[in-house]
Amino acid sequence: MTQDTVINVPDLGDFPEVEIIEILVSPGDTVDLETPLLTLESDKASMDLPSPMAGNITELLVSVGDKVSAGTPVMTVSASSGSQSSPSAEPETPVAPAVTGTASSADIQTELLVLGSGPGGYTAAFRAADLGVETVLIEKDPTLGGVCLNVGCIPSKALLHAARVIEEASEMESAGIEFGRPQIHLEDLKNWKNDIVGRLTGGLAALAKKRSVRVIQGTGRFTSANRLTVDDGNHQTDIEFAQAIIAAGSEPTVIPGLPEDRRVMDSTGALSLDDVPERLLIIGGGIIGLEMATVYHGLGSRVTVVEMTDQLMPGTDSDLLRPLARRLKNQCENIFLGTRVSGVSAAADGLTARFEGADAPESDRFDRVLVAVGRRPNANLIGAEHAGVELDEHGFIPVDRQQRTNVEHIFAIGDIVGMPMLAHKATHEGKVAAEVAAGLPSAFDARVIPSVAYTDPEVAWVGLTESEAELQGVAYEKGVFPWAASGRALGLGRPEGLTKLLFDPETRRIIGAGIVGLNAGDLIAQACLAIEMQADAKDISLTVSPHPTLSETVAFAAEAFEGTITDLYLSPKK
């Protein structure tokens, strides 16, 4: 039996009355918990009204342009009598196929099992524990943190910083300051990098202990929908769980046919810094490949990059890519686009790579080869089929907005659920999964997820890019501020950057942003917040920014769009 529930406007805080600027559903539409229903706007901000329940829209009680306040009925929803009708209603206790404390042959019973301790996994485990859920965290490696903390994001950024310091010292020669050629003590550099990693992973272990999260080291594989076996190499532990969150991440994609030789590396091997090769071939001109090109060039290697497509970082806005490509062209020994490596032969004196491409030689010899052609999900390594968890044709685990898989009590987050494979996406998904597992009405509803290449210069973007807008036929207008007009950028000796904002021509709201230049990865956060809050150009341009800074280039780009900028001369808008 179904019943109609009236959805009212919730408490609006300081706003007694707001306008409905968009209705996002129609009668007959099916909605889930937290599905946006309509958009409200005040003189300060706009916000979506999420559905407090799952069901079908039966009637709209308001129209676009109506003014509403707290308690105003806006629509009715038909739902089963057991559906949750209010966000403040007492959450239902999740259906738990296994109950801690009951008779069982398992070695361990727990309310929640988290498989994988990367940024998404440890975030999920800690959030669940904070909500009072008994939690067991499984990690195959000796330390927590997953790929990101141990052999990915953190060590690579440490080495990128080291490379940047070397470059900055060299660049100051033109200002009359000469340091001389740096002496690189590789073992000390490795120890410095490892110390940074150790401080973070040790901190995670302390946080897990503080929260009473039980950590078990070993490789986990599902044996049923409620059981998982952990193998540490010596013995197996059988764990029975009521709910599970899969956060097993991804691994580097392997090119078949390459020799099994320690000189052929993936990103993990490159970050171990066994040596600094005289000549390094990087297969793959994506973000990981170019970050490693930046590191090894800084350390003294002669770097060749090979990319199959016709541009570096395929799909990246060409305006953002141009300053980076120009700098890399001067730093790298060779960059071959539209080229593939047809084979690699190993000999005592080096690795001979064979190329197929218009501008590439037939072959060349290198001391090491780094394979950086992407990553693939680990879903096929965890026994997902034994739990009944379905995979898609690409090996990812499909999930809904609450991070649920097709098995109701099993969630999945991070790289294993699909693109983009980013740690900051995984952490937000981890919180959602933990909160839903704890019975809270949570859902992943971020408008945008930023991407950053920590190259030199850095490249960052969020929301719609200009390339995507043109490809999709989306109407847009833009404001661009070149860093050649930034006093701060000039003082840093790095005026090649730019800040670009895209706006909806009708609403004048920001819909995308791209920044290339020093610390672009930090600066893009302003645009993330602006898009999330649905800010328009005036909101951004009238925000007072400190001067002289790189951060003010965001406001300057909005001023360029508005036609109010005084730091540049632009032809008046018609």
In sequence order, the 6+-apart residues with CB closer than 8 A to the CB of 265 are 368, 369, 370, 371
Residue 103: predicted pLDDT: 56
Q: Is 62 helix (H, G, I), strand (E, B) or coil?
A: coil
The token duo for 68 is: 């509403």
Count of Cβ atoms closer than 10 Å to residue 391 Cβ = 17
Helix (H, G, I), strand (E, B) or coil at 5: strand
Crossing angle for the helix pair 119-130 and 186-210, to the nearest 10 degrees: 20
Is pLDDT of 78 > 90? no
Specify the amino acid at residue 161: H
Rounded mean pLDDT of 13-35? 82
Residue 100 scores a pLDDT above 80? no
Strands 135-139 and 214-217: what pairing? parallel
Question: Cβ neighbours of residue 449 under 8 Å, at least 6 residues apart?
Answer: 420, 422, 424, 425, 462
Residues 6+ apart with CB under 8 A from 9: 40, 49, 68, 69, 70, 71, 72, 74
Catalytic residue among 235, 386, 394, 547: 547
C-alpha 513/C-alpha 462 separation (Å) is 5
- CA distances (Å), origin 68, targets 4, 38, 39, 85: 21, 12, 11, 20
Residue 537: band (very low, low, confident or very high) from pLDDT cuts 50, 70, 90: very high
Residue 404 per-residue DSSP state: B
Report which secondary-structure segment, H or E, holds 139. Answer: strand 135-139
At residue 81, the pLDDT reads 43
Place of tokens 């202990």: 209
Nearest CA to 458 among 554, 560, 327?
A: 327
Q: How many CA atoms lie within 13 A of 300 on its CB side?
A: 11
Q: Is residue 93's pLDDT more than 50?
A: no
Instruction: Convert 78-123 into a string of H (helix), E (strand) and C (coil).
Output: EEECCCCCCCCCCCCCCCCCCCCCCCCCCCEEEEEEEECCCHHHHH
Residue 391's H or E segment, with its range, is none
pLDDT at 47 over 90: no
Pairing of strands 250-252, 264-265: unpaired
* pLDDT grade for 15, boundaries at 50, 70 and 90: low
| Whether residue 547 lies in the annotated active site | yes
Mean pLDDT of the chain: 91
**pLDDT tens digits, 101-125:** 455 688 999 999 999 999 999 999 9
Residue with tokens 């929908």: 225
pLDDT band at residue 13, thresholds of 50, 70 and 90? Answer: low
More confident residue, 321 or 39: 321
Contact 384, 416 (CB under 8 A): no
Rg for the chain, CA atoms, rounded: 26
Residue 38: predicted pLDDT = 87
Task: Round to whole Å and give the CA distance between 531 and 529.
Answer: 5
What would the pLDDT profile of 360-384 be if each residue is shown by its tens digit? 999 999 999 999 999 999 999 999 9
pLDDT band at 83 (very low <50, low <70, confident <90, very high): very low
Q: Which one, of 515, 447, 446, 502, lies nearest residue 469 by Cα?
A: 502
**Phi, psi values for residue 500, rounded to 5°:** -125, 130
Handedness of CA 298, 299, 303, 309 (dihedral sign): negative
Q: What is the DSSP string of 453-468?
A: E-SSSEEEEEE--HHH
490 Rama class: left (phi>0) / alpha (psi -120 to 50) / beta? alpha
Cα–Cα separations (whole angstroms), residue 22 to 16, 77, 124, 432: 19, 18, 34, 26
At 450-492, the pLDDT tens digits run 999 999 999 999 999 999 999 999 999 999 999 999 999 999 9
CA distance 20 to 7: 15
Q: How many CB atoms lie within 10 A of CB 425?
A: 23
Q: What's the rounded Cα separation, in Å, for the pair 482 and 497?
A: 6
Alpha carbon of 40 to those of 170, 257, 289, 407: distances in Å? 53, 57, 44, 35
- The residue count for the chain: 574
With beta carbons less than 8 A apart as the criterion, state whether 315 and 326 touch.
no
Dihedral angle of Cα 419, 420, 423, 425, to the nearest 10 degrees: -90
Query: What are the percentages of helix, strand and coil residues in the chain, rounded to 5?
Result: 30, 30, 45
Is residue 87 scored above 60 in pLDDT? no
**Residue reference for tokens 């850095």:** 458
pLDDT at 44 over 80: no
